[in-house]
Amino acid sequence: MKRLTKIALLTPLAAAMFPGFALADTSSEIAALRDRLEQLEAQVAQQKATPAPVTSNSSVSFGDTKFSFGGYVKVDALYSRFSDGSVAGSSSGRDFYVPSATPISAGNGNASSVFDMHAQQTRFFFKTETPASDGKSVKAYIEMDFQSPARGSERVTNNYDPGLRHAFLTYDKWLIGQTWTTFQDLGALPETVDFVGSSDGTVFGRQPQVRYSTGNWQFSVENAETALASRSVPAGAVSITDQGSNAMPDLVARYTHKADFGHISVAALARQLKTSQNAAGQDETTEGYGISLSGKYNLSSGDDIRYMATYGSGLGRYVALGTSGDAVVDASGNLEAIDVVAGYVTYRHLWSDKLRSSIQASVLSIDNPDILAPTAAISDANKTIFSGLTNIIYSVTPKLDIGAEYLHANREVEDGRDGNLDRLQFMAKYSF
Tens of pLDDT, residue by residue over 362-371, are 999 999 998 8
The residue among 241 and 420 whose pLDDT is bigger is 420
Percent of the chain topping pLDDT 70: 81
- Coil, helix or strand at residue 135: coil
- Within 8 A by CB and 6+ apart from 174, the residues are 210, 211, 212
- Within 8 A by CB and 6+ apart from 232, the residues are 238, 239
The residue among 158 and 210 whose pLDDT is bigger is 210
DSSP label of 147: -
> What residues are paired with 140 via a beta bridge?
128, 169
Torsion angle, alpha carbons of 226, 164, 430, 117, to 10: 70
Q: Would you say residue 226 has pLDDT above 80?
A: yes
4, containing H or E segment: helix 2-17
Average pLDDT (248-254) is 97
pLDDT of residue 8: 45
* pLDDT tier, 376 (very low <50, low <70, confident <90, very high otherwise): low
- Coil, helix or strand at residue 226: coil
**Mean pLDDT lowest among 98-112, 142-156, 334-348:** 142-156
Average pLDDT (295-312) is 97
Average pLDDT (172-195) is 97
- Coil, helix or strand at residue 213: strand
- Please give the CATH topology (third level) of the domain spanning 63-431: Porin (2.40.160)
- Coil, helix or strand at residue 362: strand
Taking the whole predicted model, whether its pTM rises above 0.75 is answered as yes
Task: Render pLDDT for 5-35 as a digit per residue (tens, 0 to 9).
Answer: 444 444 444 444 444 444 445 566 666 666 6
Strand pairing class (238-242; 227-231): antiparallel
Peptide bond preceding 51 in cis form (omega within 30 of 0):
no
